[in-house]
Amino acid sequence: MPVTIYDIAKEARVSIATVSRVLNNSSVVSEKTRLRVKKVMEQLNYTPNVIASALTKKSTLTLGLLIPDIANPFFAELARGVEDASSDFGFNIIICNTDYSSDKEATYISLLKQKSIDGFIISSAYYNDQNVVKLLKANVPLVLLGRDIDDSEGLPVDVVGSDNVKGGYIATKYLIDLGHKNIACLLGPPRIKVNLEREKGYLKAMEEAGLKVCPEAVGYGDFKIDFGFKKTLEILKGPCKSTAIFAANDLTAIGAMRAIKFLGLQVPNDISVVGYDNTVLAEMVDPPLTTVNQQMRKMGYIATELLIKRIKGERGVGEKIILDTELVIRKSAGICNGK
Amino acid sequence: MPVTIYDIAKEARVSIATVSRVLNNSSVVSEKTRLRVKKVMEQLNYTPNVIASALTKKSTLTLGLLIPDIANPFFAELARGVEDASSDFGFNIIICNTDYSSDKEATYISLLKQKSIDGFIISSAYYNDQNVVKLLKANVPLVLLGRDIDDSEGLPVDVVGSDNVKGGYIATKYLIDLGHKNIACLLGPPRIKVNLEREKGYLKAMEEAGLKVCPEAVGYGDFKIDFGFKKTLEILKGPCKSTAIFAANDLTAIGAMRAIKFLGLQVPNDISVVGYDNTVLAEMVDPPLTTVNQQMRKMGYIATELLIKRIKGERGVGEKIILDTELVIRKSAGICNGK
DNA sequence: CTGAAAGCGCTAACAA
DNA sequence: TTGTTAGCGCTTTCAG
């Protein structure tokens, strides 16, 4: 029913091979026949069948994006960058929500492989993600986005991320410069490597300033509002006398702010808060959140570019691109009024 | 290189037809051979090639989702519902950001058709979207999500949305009950039908209460923060003496709140604001936004279910599912203190 | 520069 | 219940 290269061939009085050649911009076709064929294609309103070509060419012009949750503004922003690049380079993307589950991740991976996608962009990886290692071993094109793994068993991986150590450092340093000495640190899951790095930055700043960190004021969580809320309550009621909090993402920071208000205290007058990511939420909350900016959209874009180049064989594998990170100063952190 | 049904067939000592049959759970295979074939599949770690089967079956188990912008929390939430349902039913989804451009929409549609996707979920439609009409005419399975078109030229369309007239009505009625008489109304683009409906609800409530609407206090915009900000400035400086604002989405409402604060006024003490959608942002802003809840995730899920049923031929076309809508009362609207 | 023909991996009659 | 055999729409040698 739909028009195929056979129809075009017949109408243009050439073989299907020739039609295929003009379809693929093969240079060996004479200008004259190329024009003729193109004209017929227009006339018959021909549209090539990607599925059929995929069967032989083994290329679907489709990429898979694995993220924990598209409803989380951080990942939505990454996804936008990924889709922008895909679109610019003629690819499409299939989005999968893994909900932080390795099993779901594995299921999606196997499904997408059956669909012969050309490569994966993975934002859901843990530091020793076995799914990723398997893909690497199978030599499937992939790039890690905003995540890194520790143990790739010597296999080279492409990674696009940002400077998390620096991020943790500048956030903490900023609080220190405001006079804070007891600074709490709320991290995400330790299975996600960025948290270790952000903690490292935090510790570095503290150490440099000769400040000691109160063990009860440092904790790992799940990147969600509720964790920020509960942990902050715990910390503020505990022995640490924290006057400032560095949170490893905006959601946790927002939870912290709510806890502070809940206790009848003020941000930043009583307690200062600095977040991480600079999602849309940061400028929505009250007071607007001072936070470390990750260039999420750009990260997504670059990761996709990288992957596509890899797919096209334009480059080898094993590149690490680390984007810069900077502090966006809003109103949630102020001069230390405590002791 | 990868293992095919031929390898399985040889190893299991059956024909490829039989292998294909067990792959498709055809009932005519004897339990014995089925088991044998399955075992071989496991042993050889076989994974079927969806592309190849798609070529004959004309089914890719892939859906296309057209939205303006995944970075907008409203659409991200819809997308999550869509992906959840897709995943539950064994489908995947390709997400496309149209940026409110009919041209981009058309480009994506043609690309996805080339990829033989099974159907479209469209959240980017205008009230007379020609792209949609064309798809309808071509009898391509599709469902409109959170959007409706006016002129489908007599062709039946599936629509999943929510009760916008009611939404506009209850938001306005709530403000009226709080004693407000001069209520402004900030809408989205009139090309998007929901805005006409929300306006209708607004007008209905006003009329019922015997209130007259001040023409300068009603305006169409683009659903963005900036519009809410500017239009509110204009209204508050104008002749209308508005003491309350109903905005047709949360972003516009947030812009309105910013304008109010910018003028040194307070929300809700001086001016009340009610939004629409109940995105994450609503609970983030200060004060938390009273807003009309649309069950976005559910809408996305149901729309996808509907589409999949349609694809499987389990039902006809032309269904309209309208989810209920309700007011989520937070802190951005209060008793009228003005005249 | 162009055409013939053999697949890509799987499905679906049709036979057996 | 199972096998044989044409395709699905396109790409890609290999000849010419």
CATH of the domain at A139: 3.40.50.2300
Containing domain of residue B222, as a range?
164-294
Any residues with CB less than 8 A from the CB of A46 and at least 6 apart, and which? Answer: A3, A4, A5, A7, A8, A40
A18: domain CATH number is: 1.10.260.40
Beta bridge partners of B276: B292
Give the pLDDT confidence of B112-133 residue by residue, as tens digits.
999 999 999 999 878 889 999 9
Specify the DSSP element, H or E, that contains A290: strand A290-293
Q: Do residues B285 and B225 touch, judged by C-beta distance below 8 A?
A: no
Do A168 and A283 lie in one domain? The reply is yes
Number of structural domains chain B divides into = 3
B144 conformational bin, left if phi > 0, alpha if psi -120 to 50, beta if neither:
beta
Give the pLDDT confidence of A226-264 residue by residue, as tens digits.
999 999 999 999 999 999 999 999 999 999 999 999 999
- Chain B residues touching A49 at Cβ < 8 A: 114, 116
Q: State phi, psi for A218 to the nearest 5 degrees.
A: -125, 125
Do A238 and A313 lie in one domain? The reply is no
Do A200 and A243 lie in one domain? The reply is yes
Do B92 and B196 lie in one domain? The reply is no
| Amino acid residing at B214 | C
Q: Which residue has the tokens 């797919």?
A: A311
Q: What 8-state DSSP symbol labels residue A216? A: G
| Amino acid residing at B70 | I
Do B43 and B146 lie in one domain? The reply is no
- For residue A136, give Cα distances in angstroms to A130, A156, B168, B288: 10, 8, 53, 46
Q: Do residues A84 and A297 touch, judged by C-beta distance below 8 A?
A: yes
Give domain status of residue A13, yes or no: yes
Give domain status of residue B110, yes or no: yes
Give domain status of residue B56, yes or no: no
Q: Do residues B181 and B160 touch, judged by C-beta distance below 8 A?
A: no
B254 conformational bin, left if phi > 0, alpha if psi -120 to 50, beta if neither:
alpha
Q: State phi, psi for A245 to the nearest 5 degrees.
A: -130, 130
Q: Which nucleotides of C are covered by protein (CB under 7 A)?
A: 1-5, 7-13
Give the pLDDT confidence of B73-113 residue by residue, as tens digits.
999 999 999 999 999 999 999 999 999 999 999 999 999 99
Q: Rounded distance, CA A53 to CA A36, Å?
A: 22
Do A122 and A137 lie in one domain? The reply is yes
Lowest model confidence (mean pLDDT) among A314-318, B87-91, B154-158: A314-318
Q: Which nucleotide is nearest to B18 (CA to C1')?
A: D2
Q: Are strands B290-293 and B326-328 parallel, antiparallel or unpaired?
A: antiparallel
Closest by CA to A168, choosing from A189, A194, A190, A146, is A194
Do B110 and B39 lie in one domain? The reply is no
- For residue B243, give Cα distances in angstroms to A98, B57, B235, B330: 45, 61, 10, 17
Give the pLDDT confidence of B179-228 residue by residue, as tens digits.
999 999 999 999 999 999 999 999 999 999 999 999 999 999 999 999 99
Closest by CA to B110, choosing from B90, B96, B128, is B96
- Chain A residues touching B73 at Cβ < 8 A: 71, 73, 76, 280
Beta bridge partners of B290: B274
Candidates A82, A95, A266, A330, partner chain B, best to mutate (most B CBs within 10 A) = A95
Give domain status of residue A308, yes or no: yes
How much is the pTM? 0.94
The pLDDT of residue A1 is 64
Give domain status of residue A337, yes or no: no
Q: Which of A71, A280, A297 comes nearest B80 by C-beta?
A: A71
B247 conformational bin, left if phi > 0, alpha if psi -120 to 50, beta if neither:
beta
Do A69 and A114 lie in one domain? The reply is yes
Q: Rounded distance, CA A210 to CA A201, Å?
A: 14
The pLDDT of residue B311 is 93
Closest by CA to A307, choosing from A81, A142, A116, is A142
Do B252 and B211 lie in one domain? The reply is yes
Do A100 and A173 lie in one domain? The reply is no
